Copies of this chain bind each other. A is one copy, B any other.
Amino acid sequence: MTEDIGEFDLISRYLKPLVALPGALALTDDAATIKVPASKQLIMSKDVLVGNVHFFENDLPDLIARKALRTNISDIIAKGAHPYCYALGLCFPGQASEDFIASFAEGLAADQDIYGVSLIGGDTTRSISDLMISVTMFGLAGKRGAVTRLGAGPGEAVYVSGTLGGSAVGLQTLLDRPRFEGLSEVLVSDLQSEYLLPQPPFGLQKMIAAHASASMDISDGLFQDAGHLARASEVTIIIEQEQIPMSTALQLALESDPDLLETALKGGDDYQCLMTIPPDHQALFESDCADAGIMVSLIGKTIARARLPVMLRHHGEVVENLPTGYTHF
């Protein structure tokens, strides 16, 4: 069962079952057709994940697959678009083991069910030593098109979805386990799950399209990404530290080791959405999210562009040194 598998076998046995749209031509052709309904706009996001950079090569293959999809799905949702289909580029160092592929494809299948996407095409090849996964994700937006980072005005409410910071601390538990020996196995495992399997807020795309003036996904840390949105929209975002939503596991970890706060605040890999909501949409945005059972938290507001694009306040006092985010190089 750990035999190497050829490209054509890999495609027909493990990838072909992931196809649902006729435009994929059952993965038997050089190209695919992506149908765009007349009333929709096609949105595209492309994220590349590399082993031992974005994930550990000994992570479970199904989790690697799901993370690769979800880091792209969060982009599509943040643009107010409905996830649609994806193209997959897979590079394996040397030969691909059938065990790896089988588990990887299981992960893709599981998330296809959850997010309503299917495989439309792609490429598989070998590499010399890196495992690389390149996902091009397509989404369908309504007439408004993509909700961009541009569009926030002063005096708007700033929201995030889900919880933040747990993923960054989860990564730390994988890199430096001894530091966390005071935490229970269950707690560590919960934090690691936040890192290994992000939870993009599926369904929130509707409320973003209907209510957000600007939106983006949070992948490089809340402060760095808030800075991107603030600069694009030419506003300043004020974030109230105590309103940043954190998972129970992260809150418990912080109680035991308050120094983790910086890791949590500056960390990346959240794959949640950051949204600005104009005052006249705020009540409806909140009730729409509540009706759909999607967690959103008010973390601050926008003001006219001040000296800095982002200001963090802790119990009303401005925090001078903002934790910076993740850089890719």
A-to-B contact residues, CB < 8 Å: 4-7, 25, 28-36, 38, 41-48, 50-54, 75-76, 78-79, 81, 87-92, 95-96, 120-130, 132, 134, 136, 139, 141, 145-146, 148-149, 216-217, 228, 232, 327-329
Contacts and interface: CB of A to CB of B under 8 A. Distances in A.
B128 A48 contact: no
B33 A36 contact: no
Instruction: Point out which of A35, A87, A128, A149 has the most chain B C-beta atoms below 10 A from its C-beta.
Output: A128
A48 B125 contact: yes
Contact of A329 (B4, B44, B87): B4
Contacts of A120: 44
Closest 8 A/B residue pairs (Cβ): A134-B134, A31-B45, A130-B130, A30-B75, A48-B89, A136-B136, A7-B328, A34-B42
Contacts of A96: 329
A6 B325 CA distance: 14
Contacts of A216: 29-30
A31 B146 contact: yes
Given A42-B42, A132-B132, A127 B53 contact: yes
B47 A123 contact: yes
Given A30-B75, A31-B75, 20 more contacts: A7-B328, A7-B329, A29-B149, A30-B149, A30-B217, A31-B139, A32-B44, A33-B44, A35-B41, A46-B88, A47-B123, A48-B89, A48-B132, A50-B127, A54-B125, A123-B134, A124-B328, A125-B328, A128-B129, A128-B130
Contact of A132 (B29, B36, B88, B130): B130
Nearest to A34: B42
Contacts of A30: 45, 75, 78-79, 149, 216-217
Nearest to A50: B127
Contact of A128 (B47, B50, B136, B217): B50
